[in-house]
Chains A and B, each alone.
Chain A
Amino acid sequence: MKQEITYNRCLLTRAIVKPLVLVLMLLPAFQLQANTYYFSQSAGSDANNGLTTTTPKKSIGAALTLMVSGDTILFKRGDEWYLPLNSLDLRGKSGFTLGAYDSGAQPVIAGMSILTNASWSYDGSLRWSYSLSALGFTDLFRVVVNCTTVLNVSDEGKSNAKTSVTSDSEYYYDKSAEKLYLYTGSSTTGPQYVEVIPASSSLPQGISTVLMHNTSNVIISDIDFRGGSKWNIVHMEAPNRNIDIDNCTMEEASKWASGILVSDTMISTDYNAHITITNCIVDKSFTSFENKDTFLLSGDGIFCLNGVDTGNIAGNTVLNWGHVGISLTSYYAQAPYIHGVHHVTVEANDVSAGNSGYMHALDVSGLAGLTTYNIIKRNNFHNYTTTCHLQGSNNLFFSNIFNGVIGTTHPGQSFQPFGGDMVPWRRPEGIMEARDNWFLNNTIANTGGYSLWLGWGDSAMPYNANITNIKIANNILYSYADFPFKGVPLGLDVDTFATGTNYYRNNNFWNGSSTDVVARFKKYPYLTASGLNSALLCSTYCSNNGQLDPQFTGYFTLGSGADASLKTGGIDYSSYISAYIPLTEFVDYNNVQWRTSTPSRGAIQY
């Protein structure tokens, strides 16, 4: 007999629908469960579950699939991942953390290829060759031999041929044959541990080691990023939100490249918001041998370009870049359509040129209204070659040390050994601006030219009244030189072409004498500080500038014997500061709260 089975509707509900609902309710919970995954290049396998240090996964490809909301991906210290012509591609991803586990050196993620030691062929004359044809590398942007960068022979002005490779500091890449040549000084031992930044026919500019676009809520720490594209190691292309990079290393960049480029898209007003870059080493990696007159240096360490709004760049060590250490600039041809760079704080960074023969430590500049409300404080800009641009509008520069500007020896680069300048220039899209900025309590020392230059120079527009309302107060200008006009060292140069109204108060000039001239002010060629205070056209805006020996001790700390008027009596700017930033953020170079009513002069409070 056929058994008839009937189903009660309630039974159906109880037996099927309810569990189904329960499963559906639980599903998101499982999806949202945050996991920590471990990755090891040396001991991992993608077949592992990655949930413990003893069962790590291996590949970056596997890691990318796990970068979902709430997850943490940890890479084993001491391990290295080489991704030639691939990126740690974070585009469109959000809500995860990348970091390191175990002890030892930071894990390396390199947009480079590491060549096989055994695959080098002896080429004669103590020179070795390596065929890259199997790898499809049509160009190389940098070559690093056992952690030492080497120079393309053509950048030395040598003949672009393998026979030019006669020292272990050089390389030659034969693009047509796709062969790399290195010299070792030995006919028996070939090059070891050679890393290259490659390009291919499909990626002629290479590709960034880290790519972000539409990326949000990401924390990256304790990773050593190397190589990348021709133009950068890390590229955050707008829009991105809440990106936090801490304690990472960016090194071995292409010779043209920037370290971290935070930019617009060049076609829209998209911007990056809440970008935090802290405690990183951003090092182009540069030897003095590479520092040749024969080619133009380039590349910015941390480069906020055209599209950043809110950011914090703090505690980083930036060195060896061929153009700028830290740059906040907005000036490309798409100017009417770009968002600009606003509300970025640059604090307590150590920026120096290192082995680079040409570097501005800082560049804050832009077309009208595009580089504004940024705060530059407590930085140590030192041993650089070329002026810091202190421009844009409504920017606040305080408690910085600018020390040691020697001037570039590279004939193709501009020789501007000033501590800083407020001299905007004209671009095809318009005139850049320097107005409404505050330059307070900075110490500028040991420059190869004038400490500070405010002016304008453009034959097509003889005078510029929009370099205006800049408040230069409480600074110490110390040990300056006589460039550009030989014979008379000056702390301040205000040229006649900048016709706006600016303020010069309570600054102290010291070049070894209390009676020497210290400034040029418009038509007055040479003035002492007291002459500056009373100069026609300046007297309303110039006051209490002096010439006192700060008797520096330590690192630009006022000596105990320094005149009391250097230790107190600076202008009261508390109302401005409190309207702009909280008073608690108004601190000196050593992070000691400034007295807003009677601050001492210079970057360090007495």
Chain B
Amino acid sequence: MQYSKTWLQRHFLRLCAIALFAPQLAKAGDTLSARVNKSPTLNDIADNILCYTRDQQTILLHGISAGPETWQRTKLTVTCTNAVLFDRLEANKLANGNGYVKYHIASGRAGSALVTVTVTDDGGNANGGINSISRSFTVTVNPLPLVNTSYTLLNAAGVNGKYAGSNNAQTIKLSAVSPGAVRYNWYPEQLVNNASSATPEYYIQESGPRTFFVTVTNMYGCKTVDSLVVKSLAAGKLYSLSVFPNPVSKNAEVQFIIPHDELYVAVEVYSAAGSKLSTLYQGQAKGKTPYSLRFDGSPYVAGVYFIKLSTPGHEEGFKLVLAK
């Protein structure tokens, strides 16, 4: 192929001109394309899986920008499915491309929700521009195990829960009932025959109260710790009436045990002056079975009160100190 000198000169000059002005042309192109708003940005947000808690949760967000149009302003909004899961859900921007989502699980709620955070800039969406970007993540709130603990005397040949010396120890069956539990751990583990059972046995080795703890884990790995106070009676004592804690600031657990079934049992609260204030229990009761009652001290002023257990053939009282 032959090129004339004139042709070469002309095209060389054109090539030079293109090379010289290419950056400017590219910049002009950028300017034109900048008229079409580019998408704002927001980094991905990891899913949240947690056990039910009343602690407020805060998730920091990163990478918030208007995109290449750094002069544009952005705002952040948040929406969700299953809004009843939260009693607070909000998102806000922070400086330097950061932001946050805060949420607070509504009382007693569990389940999941899809939370969507949207960054919107003020560049509009004319000519196919994009002025918003959304990122979604899932909040999964797993429930805590619900636990009910109790105990029963197994071999009640003698008296209820009586400590009769190490050669005549009685056995108590501890029980933790928790639907969906996958693991139980009782403590002190050395005092029970199977610390990982829902219903281990405890050989009474002492008189007086003994506190057991049980950690219950459910299928989600969420845990609840409950405690159980086993009150073993001194030898010869057939009835039990106890209050825990004592002194009490507001609520106390009153527990009684009677040696045999009765058609009428009453547990009542008396003032220090002897006036009956309330009845905590009244009616039939089974023998050798612990009954737990709740003493609510909120209506009463601080002071000394008496809890009285009455059966047809027995009466006994217990002094309760209410300290507010």
Residues of B near A146 (CB, < 8 A) are 70-71, 73
Evaluate contact between B188 and A315: CB separation under 8 angstroms. no
Q: Quick check: A247 and B102 within 8 Å, CB to CB? A: yes
Is B98 on the interface with A (CB-CB < 8 A)?
yes
Quick one: which of B27-84 are within 8 Å of A by CB?
51, 53, 55-56, 58, 60, 70-71, 73-77
Given A105-B76, A193-B73, A317-B58: 8 more A-B contacts, CB < 8 Å = A147-B96, A149-B95, A247-B102, A279-B56, A283-B95, A315-B58, A554-B221, A597-B187
Cross-chain pairs A/B with CB under 8 angstroms, 25 sampled: A104-B77, A146-B71, A149-B95, A149-B96, A224-B92, A247-B56, A247-B88, A249-B92, A279-B56, A281-B92, A283-B94, A285-B95, A315-B56, A319-B60, A348-B55, A350-B58, A557-B221, A568-B187, A590-B223, A591-B53, A592-B225, A593-B225, A595-B187, A597-B188, A605-B225
**Which residue in B92, B97, B211, B224 is a CB contact (below 8 Å) of A148?**
B97
Q: Which residues of A contact B225 (CB under 8 A)?
A: 592-595, 605
Residues of A with C-beta under 8 A to B221: 554, 557
Residue numbers in A under 8 Å from B98 (CB-CB):
283
| Known A189-B71, A598-B189; contact A252-B224, beta-carbon cutoff 8 A | no
Q: Quick check: is A106 within 8 A (CB to CB) of the other chain?
A: yes
Q: Report B171-189 residues with CB < 8 Å from chain A CB.
A: 185, 187-189
Residues from chain B with Cβ under 8 Å of A530 in the complex: none
User: Is A363 in contact with chain B by the CB < 8 A criterion?
Assistant: no
Interface positions, chain A 574-600, Cβ under 8 Å from B, are 590-595, 597-598
The answer to whether A597 touches B213 (Cβ under 8 A) is yes
How far apart are the CA atoms of A106 and B60 in the complex, in Å?
Answer: 16
Q: Is B308 an interface residue (CB 8 A)?
A: no
Cα A149 to Cα B58 with chains together (Å): 23
Q: Quick one: CB contact mask for B93-106 with A, threshold 8 Å, 1 for yes?
A: 11111101010000
A592 to B97, CA, bound (A): 35
Quick one: closest A residue to B59, CB to CB?
A: A317
Known: A104-B75, A105-B93, A106-B92. A317 touches B100 (CB 8 A): yes
CB pair B76 A598 closer than 8 Å: no
Residue A397 is within 8 A (CB to CB) of chain B in the complex:
no
B53 proximity list for chain A (CB < 8 A) = 590-591
Q: Count of B residues near A, CB < 8 Å?
A: 35
Binary B-proximity of A319-356 (CB < 8 A = 1, otherwise 0): 10000000000000000000000000000101000010
- Taking a contact as CB atoms under 8 Å apart, the answer to whether B211 and A281 are in contact is no
Q: With the chains together, A278 CA to B102 CA distance in Å?
A: 12
Question: What are the nearest 6 A-B pairs in CB distance?
Answer: A285-B95, A192-B71, A595-B213, A598-B187, A593-B225, A279-B56
- Kindly provide the distance from the CB of B246 to the nearest chain A CB, expressed in whole angstroms: 14
A251 proximal to B (CB < 8 A)? yes
Contacts of A105 in B (CB 8 A): 75-76, 92-93
> How does the 8 Å CB contact mask read for B219-233 relative to A, with 1 for contact and 0 for none?
001011101000000
Does the CB pair B58–A281 fall under 8 Å?
yes
Interface presence of A128 (CB below 8 A): no
Cα A344 to Cα B70 in complex, Å, equals: 43
Question: What residues of chain B lie closer than 8 Å to A287, measured between beta carbons?
Answer: 96
A257 CB → nearest B CB, Å:
14
Query: Does A295 interact with chain B (Cβ within 8 Å)?
Result: no
A502–B265 alpha-carbon span in the complex (Å): 55
Distance, CA A591 to CA B105, complexed state (A): 15
Closest to A595 in B: B213
Give A597 Cβ to nearest chain B Cβ, in Å: 6
User: Hey, which chain A residues are within 8 Å of B93, CB to CB?
Assistant: 105, 147
- Measured CB to CB, the residues of B under 8 A from A are 51, 53, 55-56, 58, 60, 70-71, 73-77, 88, 92-98, 100, 102, 185, 187-189, 211, 213, 215, 221, 223-225, 227
The closest CB in chain A to the CB of B74 belongs to A147
Q: Tell me how far the C-beta of A160 lies from the nearest C-beta in chain B, rounded to whole angstroms.
A: 24
Q: What's the Cα separation between A355 and B94 when bound, in Å? A: 14
Give the Cβ gap from B43 to chain A, nearest Cβ, in Å.
Answer: 15
Contact residues in B for A317 (Cβ distance below 8 Å): 58, 60, 100
Q: Check A315 against B55 for contact (C-beta < 8 Å).
A: yes
Q: State which of A189, A249, A285, A605 has its C-beta within 8 Å of the C-beta of B96.
A: A285
Asked whether any CB of chain B lies closer than 8 Å to the CB of A384, the reply is no
Q: Are A606 and B185 in contact (CB under 8 A)?
A: yes
Which residues of the other chain, B, contact A243 by a CB distance below 8 angstroms? none
| CB pair B95 A147 closer than 8 Å | yes
Give the distance in Å from the alpha carbon of A606 to the alpha carbon of B221 in the complex. 10
* Chain B residues near A252 (CB-CB < 8 A): 95
Q: Does A144 interact with chain B (Cβ within 8 Å)?
A: yes
Asked if A286 contacts B215 (CB within 8 A), the reply is no
In the assembled complex, the Cα of A594 lies from the Cα of B225 at a distance in Å of 8
Nearest B-chain residue to A222, judged by Cβ: B90
- Chain B's closest residue to A560 (CB) is B183
Point out the residues of chain B lying under 8 angstroms from A149, CB to CB.
Answer: 95-96
- Chain A contacts for B97, CB-based, 8 A: 147-148
Q: How far is the CA of A111 from the CA of B51 in the complex (A)?
A: 40
Cα-based distance from A590 to B54 in the complex (angstroms): 11
Complex CA distance for A595 and B215, rounded to whole angstroms: 9
Q: Which of B95, B97, B102, B224 has the most CB of A within 10 A?
A: B95
The answer to whether A281 touches B100 (Cβ under 8 A) is yes
Measured between beta carbons, the chain B residues less than 8 angstroms from A144 are: 95
**Assembly CA distance A106 to B99 (angstroms):** 12
A605 contacts B188, C-beta separation under 8 Å: no
With a CB–CB cut-off of 8 A, which chain B residues contact A168?
70
* Alpha-carbon gap, A350 to B60, bound state (A): 11
CB distance from A486 to the nearest CB of B (A): 35
Q: Name the B residues within 8 Å of A148 (CB-CB).
A: 95-97
Q: Return the contact of A597 from the options B70, B94, B211 (Cβ within 8 A).
A: B211
Q: Are B224 and A592 in contact (CB under 8 A)?
A: yes
Q: Which residue of A lies closest to B53 (CB)?
A: A591
Bound-state Cα–Cα, A104 to B88, Å: 13
Q: Once the chains are docked, how many angstroms separate the CA of A21 from the CA of B92?
A: 53
Q: Flag if A286 contacts B76 (CB, 8 Å).
A: no
In the assembled complex, which residues on chain B have CB atoms less than 8 Å from the CB atom of A319? Answer: 60
What CA separation (Å) do A251 and B93 show in the bound complex? 11
A591 touching B55, Cβ below 8 Å: yes
Q: How far is the CA of A326 from the CA of B55 in the complex (A)?
A: 19
Residues of A117-155 at the interface with B, using a CB-CB cut-off of 8 Å, are: 144, 146-149
CA distance A324 to B151 in the complex (A): 51
Residues of B close to A193: CB separation below 8 A: 71, 73
B194 to chain A, nearest CB (A): 14
Contacts of A247 in B (CB 8 A): 56, 88, 102
A319 to B99, CA, bound (A): 12
CA distance A573 to B253 in the complex (A): 24
- By a CB distance below 8 angstroms, the chain A residues around B102 are 247, 279
Residues of A within 8 A of B185 (CB): 567-568, 606
Inside 8 A of B51's CB, which chain A residues have their CB?
Answer: 590
Identify which of B92, B93, B221 gathers the most chain A CB atoms within 10 Å of its CB: B92
What's the minimum C-beta distance from B79 to chain A, rounded to whole angstroms? 11
Give bound CA distance, A538 to B74, whole Å.
Answer: 60
Residue of B nearest to A350 (CB): B58
Q: Hey, which chain A residues are within 8 Å of B94, CB to CB?
A: 249, 251, 281, 283, 285
Contacts of B95 in A (CB 8 A): 144, 147-149, 251-252, 283, 285
Minimal Cβ-Cβ distance residue in A for B51: A590
Residue of B nearest to A188 (CB): B31
Q: How far is the CB of A74 from chain B (nearest CB, A)?
A: 16
Tell me the complex Cα distance, A193–B73, Å.
8
A590 to B223, CA, bound (A): 9
Residue among A567, A592, A605 facing the most chain B CB atoms (10 A cut-off): A592
How many Å lie between the Cα of A446 and that of B129 in the bound state? 46
Contacts of B211 in A (CB 8 A): 597
Contacts of A281 in B (CB 8 A): 58, 92, 94, 100
Chain A's nearest CB lies how many Å from the CB of B226? Answer: 8
The B-contacting residues of A in range 181-210, CB under 8 angstroms, are 189, 192-193
* A571 CB to nearest B CB, Å: 13
Chain A residues, CB < 8 A from B71: 146, 189, 192-193
Tell me, rounded to whole Å, the shortest Cβ–Cβ distance linking A37 to chain B: 23
A557 to B100, CA, bound (A): 26
